[in-house]
């Protein structure tokens, strides 16, 4: 059975790119376009991995992740922060906030499949 991955991303170009790569590699992919929808879908689907955009209108990724990590039913979900505003110290900030990993945009499409495998295995990408 393929791994389930939930993409929570408000930018259509980014979500389409992620969708295309992940479905090509055999993952079962679902898409939410904002934090609130993402929280609802994460609770329903219980995905193996969530790729969470940080900057979204309405509920941002930090808030959505905090809700999921603060709920005993979803605390174990693996959530990867996606951000286009990569600055020094961001990775440490996101990991300290409870994210399981960090990916800066633009996304390296050749590297992404390897990173996904490592995150699904519970390993820190090298």
* Contact of 10 with 34, CB cutoff 8 Å: yes
Q: What is the pLDDT of residue 1?
A: 81
100 closest CA partner among 79, 73, 83 = 79
- Whether the predicted pLDDT of 110 surpasses 90: yes
pLDDT digits (tens, 9 = 90+) for 6-37: 999 999 999 999 999 999 999 999 999 999 99
Tell me how far apart the alpha carbons of residues 29 and 22 are, in angstroms, rounded to a whole number.
7
The pTM of the full predicted model, rounded to 2 decimals, is 0.93
**Local structure of 118: helix, strand or coil:** helix
pLDDT score recorded for residue 87: 64
Show the domains of the chain with their CATH numbers.
4-120 (3.40.50.2300)
Contact 9, 15 (CB under 8 A): yes
């Amino acid at each position: 059975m393929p791994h389930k991955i939930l993409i929570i991303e408000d930018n259509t170009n980014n979500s389409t790119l992620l969708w295309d790569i992940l479905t090509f590699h055999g993952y079962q992919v679902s898409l939410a376009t904002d934090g609130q929808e993402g929280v609802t879908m994460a609770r329903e689907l219980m995905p193996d991995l969530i790729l969470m955009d940080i900057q979204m209108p309405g509920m941002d990724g930090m808030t959505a992740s905090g809700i999921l990590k603060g709920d005993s039913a979803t605390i174990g979900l693996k959530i990867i922060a996606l951000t286009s505003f990569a600055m020094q110290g961001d990775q440490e900030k996101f990991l300290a906030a409870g994210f399981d990993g960090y990916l800066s945009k633009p996304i390296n499409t050749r590297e992404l499949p390897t990173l996904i495998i490592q995150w699904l295995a519970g390993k820190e990408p090298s």
